[in-house]
Structure 1
Amino acid sequence: MIPRYGRDEMVAIWSQQQGYRLWLEVELFALEGMERIEAIPPGTAARIRDRAFIDIKRIADLEKRLQHEALAFLTSVSEQVGEDARFLHYGMTSSDMLDTALAVQICRSIDLLLESLRGLTDSLRARAEEHRDTLCLARTHGRGAEPTTFGLKLAGFYAEFVRSADRLRLARAEIAICKIGGAVGTYATIDPRVELHVAAVLGLAPETVATQAVARDRHAAVMTTLALLAGAIERLATELRHLQRQEVEEVWEGFGQGQKGSSAMPHKRNPIFCENLTGLARLIRSSAMPFLENIALWHERDMSHSSVERVALPDAFILSDFAVHRLTGIIQNLIVDEDRMRANLEKMGGAYGSQRLMLSLIDGGFAREQAYELVQRVAHQARLKGIDFRHAVESEPEIAANLTESAIERAMDPRGYVASVDYIFNRTFGPPVDPSAGRSEL
């Protein structure tokens, strides 16, 4: 991934140096496991650990000749450790080293991404609480619907990102797999106890039934989870983009000192960060399909998955981490125009009360279809004549004859539509915590 869209900690996990370091760690832990069962002389792992180092240039030079990166790596290490090299990679196949190390990289990446998601959900919760009672217009099909609160909007996104975090934890458990089983996973040349040792040290579990490689449905589960996270990021970014449109202008991205909005038009203040997230989400999601196609490897293994994983795994994790961090900043610095929200709500002229009016007529004895057609006709006439819906309702004899002024007032009161906000908040965040709870009386 280009440096523009990467944060240092996630980029470091996927660096070539770190990848080779993990390969070496897997080999060293396998040596330790072999020592524990007395398959090789004691002290072998310690001596190799003391002497071995990562020489990226030498590995690259060897790969040009060998055309095999894993063998180039092992040859480079063997040159450094001398006679003990005969025990290096003993009874193992390349995928034992590669897939086990890859599982560690993915687990560490998920852990870092979960940490970033905690920052995002904390920020969403704080802003949701801040705007729990901030009235605004809910929109369906891009058109005004009924009143809601901006806090309730944000609470919905909070809940979605919590689900994303839950999926990531499940995906982590599925990918945290060690495979040290030899050429086709039958342990023909290596004792299963070696795998158990490596798995325990790295916090992994042995593959249930391995071939030469770890089954790729596990990796696909990770990538489809990242794709769902990207969908959540884009959904919130798209909402914020719409709310910044000239016709709406209910929120603004933070605008830094000295920031410019357009090279040509000095008045512009564009939703560039939300737009950027929309594009990044497309890139993340685009990796899901190749990983689904990676599942069907030939027989006990082929190499068709390798190139996909080399490119897509680092990029998807680096982009996901960057996008979550950027979105967190947007939420923290978001400017919310409560007055504009109220003004846009009032522009409806009370039309958001149409359902409540219809229900009141039904309660008074109207058939549903009769009540619907009456309210619909009044709404259409109000729009054609350019008058408030409320005025049109009060001027309609059939409605006036069947509904009291207080019933019409209740239908037009925006606060009546958000009476259950506390109930939804408690369901989303849990009931409020009493600060004095648990304190003993002095």
Structure 2
Amino acid sequence: MISRYSLPEMAELWSDQTRYATWARVEVLACEAQALLGRVPESALADIRNAPVPSAERVAELERERDHEVLSFLAAFCEGMPADSARWVHLGMTSYDLVDTALGHTLARACDLLIGAARRLRAVLVDRAVEHWETVCIGRTHGMHAEPTTFGHKLAGFAFAIDRSIRRLEAAREQVAVGTISGSVGTYALIDPFVEQHVCGALGLGVEPVPSQIVARDRHAQLLQAVATLGACIEQIATEVRLLSRSEVREVEEPRTVAYQGSSAMPHKRNPTTSERLSGLARLLRGYADTALEDVALWHERDLSHSSVERVVLPDALTIAHYQATAAADLVAGLQVFPGRMRAAISQSEGRVYSSAVLADLLESGGDRERAYRMIQDAANGEDFLTLLKTEGIETDHLRPERFLARHDVVYKRLEALRDLDD
């Protein structure tokens, strides 16, 4: 992923050097297990443990000679130890015993970073929802004025959407945090299952129950579906900010720095560029999720068609999502809210947004539904809605936004329960 949409901690996790450090750790752990089984001498194990992690540059240099990354890594790794000890490295293993077990460890760590960012976003949404619980605004359906609600209610809905995304990510993390060290077609023919148990246990991983040399790729597909869903939920927040930021609405505005410049030609512009960026990144995440599904069906025990794909989609998707969740939290935390503009939008309707309450009052007093509906509809199409209602003998003085918030505490109690998760 380009540096523009990468944060340092996630970018470092997916660097070539970190990958080779993880590979080295897997090889050392495997040798430890073999030593416990009496297959690797303790003297060789000490040399293997002390061998430095090869540089990414050295592995790349050797790969130009071998055209095989794992073999190039092993050659570079073994350069750091005596030849008599190097012969025990990778004993009984195949390439993807190393690659997939290390990948499971990396995916688990990447998920932890992403879940942490998503939890921060949830906490910020909850805090801002509480702050604006009584900030009355107009609700909109089909883009049109509907009934009064509050800005806090909007934010609470987003907070619960992020909470559901966190739960999906947690479930997906469990599925991808697995490894396998089982040999060429997963039968453990040349390696004791104890090696797998030792390595995966040390790395905090589960074990693929029926390995085929590789970890099943439906696990990765599940993760990127969860990542894409988080992205879509963030896009929903961003879309709301974009709509409420329009010049003729201007109920909210993105946080600005002193360096902000909105247009190269029009100095007055205050464009919602962060929200637009978040919306665009969500499109990438959906594409990566679809691509991950293409990796599930492989030939027989395995082929290599998945490798080139996941070298791109796994680091890119998790890096983008981490950036997106972090940027969304910053956006919501600094979002400017204009309650006066929100009240003004309600006033602009000249009472039409209270039509459902008028209809309910008429029906409760024994009115005919069809006649009452048509009468209110006709009045709403006129020039002065409230005056026209009064000519029909309908009292309108009690029509205020607060009428629609009488049971708002029901939702607030649910929000408080969500807030407790971050305390």
TM-score range, shorter chain: over 0.9
What is the CA–CA distance in structure 1 between the aligned matches of 2:84 and 2:253, rounded to whole Å? 66
8 A Cα contact 2:31 2:45, kept in partner: yes
The match for 1:377 is: 378
Partner of 1:205: 206
The corresponding residue for 1:179 is: 180
Q: Cα distance 1:64–1:104, how it changes in 2: closer, same or farther (>3 A)?
A: same
**Pairwise CA distance, 1:369:** 2.8
1:349 is matched with: 350
Specify the SS of the correspondent of 1:92.
coil
Distance 1:275 1:213 in 2: 39
1:43-442 matches, within 5 Å, as: 43-81=43-81, 82-380=83-381, 382=382, 386-387=383-384, 389-395=385-391, 397=392, 400=393, 403=394, 405=395, 408-410=396-398, 412-430=399-417
Q: Which moved more, 1:47-56 or 1:177-186?
A: 47-56
CA–CA distance in structure 2, aligned partners of residues 272 and 50 of structure 1:
50
Residues of 1 paired with 2:32 and 2:177: CA distance?
20
Work out the CA distance in 2 between the residues paired with 1:13 and 1:419: 50
Letter in 2 for 1:346: S
* Cα shift at 1:432: 8.9
Equivalent residue letter for 2:411: I
Residue type at the aligned position of 2:250: E
The answer as to whether partners of 1:426 and 1:432 remain within 8 angstroms in 2 is no
Report the secondary structure of 2:172's partner residue.
helix
Letter aligned with residue 94 of structure 1: S
- Correspondence 1:2 to 2:2: yes
2:305 counterpart SS class: coil
| In 2: Cα distance, 1:217 partner to 1:251 partner | 41
Structure 1 position 124, deviation (Å): 1.0
Shift of 1:85: 1.3
Residue equivalent to 2:35? 35
Task: List structure 1 segments (4+ residues) > 4 angstroms apart after TM superposition.
Answer: none
Q: Deviation of residue 76 (structure 1)? A: 1.4
Q: Is the 8 A contact 2:22 2:102 kept in 1?
A: yes
TM-score between the two structures when normalised by the length of structure 2: 0.96
How many angstroms does 1:282 deviate by? 1.0
Consecutive unaligned residues in structure 1, runs of 5 or more: 434-442
Q: Distance in 2 between matches of 1:127 and 1:35?
A: 56
The one-letter code of the counterpart of 1:31 is C
Deviation at 1:60, TM superposition (A): 1.1
Secondary structure of the corresponding residue to residue 266 of structure 1 = coil
Distance 2:389 2:241 in 1: 34
Asked if 1 retains the 8 angstrom alpha-carbon contact of 2:172 and 2:223, the reply is: yes
Q: What is the SS of the residue equivalent to 1:138?
A: strand
CA contact (8 A) 1:137 1:341 kept: yes
8 Å Cα contact 2:123/2:419 also seen in 1: no
Kindly provide the amino acid, as one letter, of the partner of residue 72 in structure 2. Answer: A
Whole-angstrom CA distance in 1 between matches of 2:75 and 2:258: 55
- Give the letter for the 1:430 counterpart: A
- CA distance in structure 1 between the partners assigned to 2:418 and 2:238 by the alignment: 28
Distance 1:426 1:13, change over 3 A: same
3-state SS of the aligned residue for 1:370?
helix
Report the CA distance between 1:137 and its aligned residue.
Answer: 0.3
Counterparts of 2:406 and 2:306, CA distance in 1: 53
Deviation at 1:61, TM superposition (A): 1.9
Displacement of 1:392 after TM fit?
2.1
Matches of 2:80 and 2:418, distance apart in 1: 61
How far the C-alpha of 1:424 sits from its partner, in A, is: 0.2
What TM-score, normalized to structure 1? 0.92
Contact 2:126–2:419, Cα closer than 8 Å, also in 1: no
Which moved further from structure 2: 229-238 or 112-121? Answer: 112-121
For 2:151 and 2:69, the matched residues in 1 are separated by: 54
Deviates more, 1:359-368 or 1:105-114: 359-368
Contact 2:20 2:53 in 1 (8 A): no
> 1:431 Cα deviation (Å)?
9.1
CA distance in 2, matches of 1:12, 1:343: 48
Change (3 A) 1:122 1:257: same
Q: CA deviation at 1:110?
A: 0.8
CA-atom RMSD in angstroms: 1.5
Counterpart AA for 2:296: I
Query: 1:12 and 2:8 equivalent?
Result: no
Q: Is the 8 A contact 1:147 1:352 kept in 2?
A: yes
Per-residue deviation, residues 138-177 of structure 1 (Å, max 9, x unmatched) = 1011110000000111011011111111111101111110
- 2:211 partner amino acid: A
Query: Identity rate of aligned residues, in percent?
Result: 43
Task: Give, in whole Å, the separation in 1 of the partners of 2:98 and 2:149.
Answer: 54
Greater displacement, 145-154 / 369-378: 369-378
Evaluate the alpha carbon distance shift between residue 431 and residue 299 of structure 1 in structure 2; reply closer, same or farther with a 3 A threshold.
closer
Which residue identity does 2:390 align to in structure 1? E
